[in-house]
Structure 1
Amino acid sequence: MRKPADKAQVDAELRRVVELRHPEPHSVLGIHPDGDGVVIRAFRPDAVAIHVLPEFGGRVPMTHRQDGVFEARVNGRDKTFGYLLEVEYPGKRVFTLRDSYSFLPTLGEMDLYYAGEGRHERLWERMGAHLIHHNGTRGVSFAVWAPTAAGVSVVGDFNSWDGRLHSMRRMGASGIWELFVPEVGEGARYKFEIRPGQGGPRVLKSDPFAFRAEVPPATASVVHDLGRYGWGDGAWLESRTQKSDVAHQPWSVYEVHLGSWRRVVEDGDRPMTYRELAPALAEYVKHMGFTHVELLPVSEHPYGGSWGYQVSGYYAPTARFGHPDDFRFMVDHLHQEGIGVIVDWVPGHFPRDAHALGEFDGTALYEHADPRKGAQPDWGTLVFNFGRNEVRNFLIANALFWIEEYHIDGLRVDAVASMLYLDYSRKQGEWIPNRWGGRENEEAIQFLRELNDTVRRKHPGVVVIAEESTAWPKVSSPVSEGGLGFHFKWNMGWMHDTLSYFSKDPIYRQYHHNQLTFGLLYAFSEHFMLPLSHDEVVHGKGSLYGRMPGDPWQKRANLRSLFAWMWAHPGKKLLFMGGEFGQPAEWNHDKSLDWHLTQDPGHQGIQRLVARLNRIYKELPALYDADSEPVGFQWLQPDSASSNVLAFVRRSRQPGRHVVCVANLSPTVREKYRVGFPLQTNYVEVLNSDAGEYGGSNTGNMGQLHTEATGWDGQPASALLTLPPLSVLWFTPG
């Protein structure tokens, strides 16, 4: 016969349970062999009476032992057994339930080992809240990382948000707390109630791994079954893998803020839902010819005015626009219409909101404790501690989560420069040098390399794009070659110089000619993407249209020239919504785009041009397949500053295929202007940004010309062209 448990020792253990500071409440609650039978204990502080209902029948009364702890003995049983608890509360309210403390852990040793090592690539399948069948019972397994907490409870709709009822158990030295709660279902709201190890008040935290969240400003996490959605985009995913050589593919990206792209004015001026957006966005993007959409961050965030860049729920699509499966539907629909989906991803910093990641277990857990490393002064946010295995694992698993669970085709990583440099936006004395005395953040560099290597290894065809604004070398080179491993880097220098040039009155442009030529000195040092993003149409900068000089006709002509210049320039393309039809107003995240302008012939012409640019771009490999190679570009006239003319050739990796681009960025028509061509043959004017259909003066070269055997611009042939005012022309042999 087993020796009965020592009463004083059990009383001490139960005292810790009652005080909610027991790291392993299962060791004393639930069912345990004891003497010649078993003992069953339950902690239900407000109960009047509790009865045990054993699986073999009967009804065993429990006695109140101390402070809400009830106990019953069943003698003559040498093994544990299943049972229910019948709990009576004041007012004769009776509930029959299964006891969480009668279930074994839902996490295995290997899960804990790989999580501690920071190498659990599918960590989201074990952490957070999961609907499962456990020992024949349906319910939710909860798991959360809080290594310094004295105690953790899961609270929610299922227990009246009472932290006394579902204390979790700590899984050894892993710092992970776990509990299976029977009979909790889809849609239940919950949080984790954490009791800091160093004392202080209990805190309520949203689940860092929650797959669904309440609609802000509410902050609870919501139980969601990831496995319910039936995808229909298999053909797209297979094609994506086959096109994994992304540097040689056409990428024309339409950047979208879901809350303001198109609002439902007749229904209270509300944002469209994911399901409403799916057909509308797909139809428009397909009509405009973009290859991809890039969504400003879709992860849950507390403040809409951050546009999603201050994330509180890294594993949950924002509930502002619907259910997670509705977001899946939108991605699925876009894929089935042949449109890729990129999302902005923010691993560099997170907000200080009390319900989110900051001081999660009462200590600096996800962030650095020292504000010189753990605080981001620009945005008032906290910086991830990339040197901690569990934090790196949280983020890398999150990247894989969006790719695997939501079929995302690319991640644009926000604010990479803020991660790379320890002194980013910090004054002397406000940052800590690395071990060599330098400013490089070695932990963040290692994290980015691990991230990019992992995505490349597991998901060929998926891209990771760096918004990186400095001269850091080899951002888009493989890690094996000493690079950071990104697929593309935003070309911020090109963006600043180009917008600066086009904003100048043409009379002064000759003095800024180098702003359009300088970028070609480094254009092939990285795999670049040319961004005209949301950042260029906010904070008083005005719109792209508004930054163009001149009267309305000239503004439109300049904007058309900017786009035609950009689409011919080496580098993948990205344009923020509204720019494609020349919206004059600065972007407002609380308002719909000014779609009525697309009925105006001038703005409609800009829109037609962008659609035409996208179609020709995809048809002509010379415009994309050698973007990052010097062989893909040759200047014809880089020095015609006084006439505001530039000309170059884009060449394909396929022999003989090329495009000649000629820009006249003055308001003067230039007749019989000679430009060199690679071949003596017929050329077709495949694009004229001044064409009447785009709102221009319809000046040009009648669509076709024949070059003559007069060498010019270092080429064997040339032609006398008519250059329309404020225009860009493209020519191809044919």
Structure 2
Amino acid sequence: MALRDTSLPDPSGPARCRTAPPLDPTDRGRLLAGAHHDPHALLGAHAVRGGVVFRALRPFARSVSVVIDGERRGLVSEGEGLFSGVLPLKEIPAYTLSVSYGDGEHEVEDPYRFLPALGELDLHLIREGRHEQLWKALGAEPMTHQGVTGTRFTVWAPNAQGVRVAADFTYWDGTAFPMRSLGASGVWELFLPGVGEGTRYKFEIHSRHGHRFLKADPMARYAENPPDTASIVHSSRHEWGDAEWMAHRGDLPVHVAPFSVYEVHLPSWRPGLTYRELAEVLPAYVNDLGFTHVEFMPVAHHPFSGSWGYQVTGFYATMGRLGTPDDFRFLIDALHRAGIGVIMDWVPAHFPKDDWALARFDGEPLYEPGDDRRAEHPDWGTYEFDFGRVEVRNFLVANAVYWCEEFHIDGLRVDAVASMLYLDYSRDSGQWTPNVFGGREDLDAVAFLREMNATVYRRAPGVVTIAEESTAWDGVTRPTDSGGLGFGLKWNMGWMHDSLGYISHEPVHRKYHHNEMTFSMMYAYSENYVLPISHDEVVHGKQALVSKMPGDWWQQRANHRAYLGFMWAHPGKQLLFMGQEFAQGAEWSEPHGPDWWLLDPGYSAEPDHRGVRDLVRDLNTAYLATPALWQRDTDPGGFQWALGNAADDNVFAFLRYAADGTPLLAVSNFSPVVREDYRIWVPEDGPVWEETLNTDAAKYGGGDVTNPGPIKPEEDGIRITLPPLATVWLTPYPS
């Protein structure tokens, strides 16, 4: 396109454009302050009477020119980084900008010549709170737009007067890149040509109170490691190799499938290892011990390692200390290819108050409620989410879907559900307001949890959601269409509390606490349960599992083994925290991790730790091979007491049945004496039995009091020898 220059030539540079009409002073002031809702209306190219006006905002530039068909026309400086000019054109041409700084000239695309890179459907779904793949609409998305490669930046900030992109290449000054408001959605958008992966960025918010501050992207997929707080432009390039796992992970519903979980804090399991290095050792270790799943303590981005991940600032970003998001995908892929499912702790109950993150994001309460009584979480010094706001609910529901779809996560263990369900949770009278029905239930949180569960189960077949819920709320694992919350499983905190209370007593006192071990069967089928011995039980002075046990070291280990045998046989799935599988005596330490040296064959003083680890391996092996232990976990017909009232003897015995009726008999003797010729009731028409597991076996570090050979039932049951502080499993003798 030929240009007709009407300006006088500039001997020191390109011919200049005609001077443009000045901006309205109010618009100019708002633009330069970062408080304008529509910078694209002022910047870029626009048809005017007599031609096309070009305007650019380039702070610190010496000069700016428009380049059309290789010809340059200098823009006139308006001061404060604004450059403008008019060319006598009939239509807006394709053009670039040539910007001169102290280090030379740079030819760049003008961000303000591009149409919005976010569609109307996306905006409609965001307004409705129904965008189930929200991460594809908001955040920093590398893309090609109108034939140009760059990154689309979008952020939800409905109360802001203006939003700008500040990045490493702008030296964290957002002046040059104000974003445009996309109307009632509250979304701000800007496509920046030439910006690609690895760019560090933040959003500079101009609040309606006149304050300006930098915020990390709530939708960032990657973030700087603490103490740095910027978000990082990222796009996944991982090629998954777990197609077979994904195709078959949902073949068996979780409540009728084996489910034995090893809980791991990734940074401290093997301190110093990256995600990719963990992929070389963790799958092999978990496979060797026979666990079906691992559960990761939170892996979402968190600035303080001492929070163990439960103070999340980047809900869509992986913890960067161990590698990139694709490195984390690599670890999950390796676990799947080894046949191991991956559960992730997910924390939608609260978020920290860091001023660079979600708190008061656009200068107003946004992700948190506006009422301080509702916003403040009294226990953790954090903010609670505003579950009544559709955009906030969408942010969290889509986040659950994100981990399942983008990272192939097989399960979400939802943290602190009870704190969400009750308006008066940890609050005194006067510190909370009843719901519309006068009750203390948080109806918005209930609606959120139901929506989250229903959405995850619909979009991610084979995924299970698990509630950490410690109250008697009815229907936590009941389907949403039947009025329940819709979780697949629930942690059995009552069983955990009662059984640990029982086992911590001296054997001589246990008869007074016998019901603490039997009471769980009064409600065992009210929900679909997981029996959790988690990190929470082995920190903060609670002692490691083996150290909770009374007696000398031999008795402590014997109690530990007997307890695990009882736990694996009890109705419900099971979860064990790292270090407890080999009876580590010290509490878990986040900087230190498990005491792996206890398993060293050269450590002759305590070879018994290896025996406990071998027991866990054999428990899992027998568990997987015995459908009676998992097939009818939620069916009362799958359980029968054989001896539930032997309080004076500290003995418990029960039968588990598979779907085809095949039984397993579990007998636990929690007294330190051998009980010979001990009678256990079994059905008269039952099989001949054999002992298939005994926690007192010498190979586990026990005294090797066993029951060799077949055990034939008599009229009054069977008679066996009970080893001290031990659990034995009996199964039908092969015919």
Q: TM-score range by the shorter chain?
A: over 0.9
1:258-657 equivalent positions in 2, closer than 5 A: 258-263=266-271, 271-599=272-600, 600-654=606-660, 656-657=661-662
Letter paired with 1:67: E
Matches within 5 A, 1:115-264: 115-200=126-211, 202-226=212-236, 228-243=237-252, 245-263=253-271
For 1:601 and 1:704, the matched residues in 2 are separated by 31
Tell me what 1:21 maps to: 35
Q: Give the SS at the match of 2:532.
A: strand
Question: Counterpart of 2:656 in structure 1: which amino acid?
Answer: R
Give the AA of the match of 2:247: E
Distance 1:170 1:527 in 2: 47
- Matched residues in 1 for 2:103 and 2:450: separation? 61
SS at match of 2:285: helix
Q: Which residue of 2 aligns with 1:60?
A: 73
Deviations for 1:300-350, whole angstroms, at most 9, x for unmatched residues? 001100000000000011001011110000000000000000000000000
2:670 counterpart residue number:
665
Q: For residues 203 and 189 of structure 1, what CA distance do their matches in structure 2 show?
A: 16
What is the rounded CA distance, in whole Å, between the counterparts of 1:596 and 1:48 in structure 2?
64
Equivalent residues of 1:300, 1:308 under 8 A apart:
yes
The one-letter amino acid paired with 1:261 is W
Paired residues of 1:5 and 1:34 also in contact (CA < 8 A): no
- Over the aligned positions, Cα root-mean-square deviation in angstroms equals 1.4
- Identify if the C-alpha distance between structure 1 residues 703 and 406 changes in structure 2 by more than 3 Å, giving closer, same or farther: farther
Which amino acid in 2 is paired with 1:628?
A: T
Cα deviation for residue 108 of structure 1 reads 1.0
Alpha carbons 2:163, 2:206 under 8 Å: kept: yes
Q: Secondary structure at the match of 2:537?
A: helix
Query: Partner of 1:113 in structure 2?
Result: 124
Moved more, 156-165 or 292-301: 156-165
Partner of 1:567: helix, strand, or coil? helix
Once residues 223 and 197 of structure 1 are traced to their aligned partners in structure 2, the CA distance between those partners, rounded to angstroms, is: 28
C-alpha contact 2:19 2:86 (8 A) present in aligned 1: no
- Give the AA of the match of 1:215: N
Tell me: CA distance 1:724–1:630, structure 2 relative to 1, closer, same or farther (3 Å): same
Conserved? CA contact 2:225–2:303, under 8 Å: no
SS at match of 1:50: strand
Whole-Å separation in 2 of the counterparts to 1:312 and 1:92: 37
1:377 deviates by 1.1
User: 2:675 is aligned with what amino acid?
Assistant: R
Give yes or no for contact 1:680–1:706 (8 Å, CA) kept in 2: no
Q: Are the counterparts in 1 of residues 642 and 655 from structure 2 also a CA contact under 8 Å? A: yes
Q: Which residue of 2 aligns with 1:268?
A: none
Q: TM-score, normalised by structure 1?
A: 0.95
Cα distance, 1:13 vs structure 2:
2.4
Give the 3 Å change call, closer, same or farther, for CA 317–703 of structure 1 in structure 2.
Answer: farther
Distance of 1:116 and 1:634 partners within structure 2: 53
Is the CA contact 1:546–1:584 (under 8 Å) kept in the aligned structure 2?
yes
Cα distance between partner residues in 1 of 2:142 and 2:670: 62
The change in CA–CA distance for 1:680 and 1:67 in structure 2 (over 3 A counts) is closer
Whole-Å Cα distance in 2 between the matches of residues 98 and 276 of structure 1? 41
Give, as a single letter, the amino acid of the residue that structure 1 aligns with 2:642: L
Deviation at 1:10, TM superposition (A): 4.1
Which residue number in structure 2 is paired with residue 37 of structure 1?
Answer: 51
Q: Give yes or no for the alignment of 1:85 onto 2:97.
A: yes
Secondary structure at the counterpart of residue 241 of structure 1: coil
Note the C-alpha offset of 1:680.
4.2
Match of 2:691 among 674, 681, 685: 685
Q: Distance in 2 between matches of 1:703 and 1:346?
A: 51
Partner amino acid, structure 2, of 1:59? R
Residues in 2 aligned to 1:660 and 1:192: alpha-carbon distance in whole angstroms: 62
Q: What's the CA shift for 1:87? A: 1.1
Q: How far off its partner does 1:7 sit?
A: 4.3
**For residue 719 of structure 1, what is the aligned residue in structure 2?**
718
Tell me how far apart the structure 1 counterparts of residues 516 and 302 of structure 2 sit (CA, whole Å). 38
Q: Deviations over 1:581-606 (max 9, x none)?
A: 00000110000310111233211111
Distance 1:172 1:694 in 2: 68
Shift of 1:240: 0.9
The residue type equivalent to 2:700 in the other structure is Y
The C-alpha deviation readout for 1:416-467, integer Å capped at 9, x for no partner, is 0000001101111111211122110000000000001111112221000000
Counterpart for residue 50 of structure 1 = 64
Name the aligned partner's letter for residue 281 of structure 1: L
Question: Aligned AA for 2:270?
Answer: R
How many residue pairs match? The answer is 710
Quote the offset at 1:67 in angstroms. Answer: 2.6
Q: Which residue of 2 aligns with 1:715?
A: none
* SS of corresponding position for 1:372: helix
Percent identity, please: 53
Tell me how far apart the structure 1 counterparts of residues 238 and 228 of structure 2 sit (CA, whole Å).
Answer: 25
How many angstroms apart in 2 are the aligned matches of 1:475 and 1:486? Answer: 6
- CA separation in 1, counterparts of 2:709 and 2:427? 56
1:14 Cα deviation from its structure 2 partner? 2.6
SS of the residue 1:494 aligns to: helix
**Could you tell me which residue of structure 2 aligns to residue 74 of structure 1?**
87
Question: Which structure 1 segments of 5+ residues have no match?
Answer: 264-270, 713-717
- The CA distance in 2 between the partners of 1:528 and 1:293, in whole Å, is 17
| Contact residue 20 and residue 85 of structure 2 kept, 8 A | no
5+ long unaligned stretches in structure 2: 1-17, 601-605
| 1:16 shift after superposition | 2.1
Is the CA contact 1:158–1:184 (under 8 Å) kept in the aligned structure 2? no
SS at match of 1:131: strand
Deviations 1:543-581 (A, max 9, x none): 101100100100000000110000000000000000000
Q: Specify the code of the residue in structure 2 equivalent to 1:483.
A: G
d(CA) in 1 for partners of 2:219, 2:659? 45
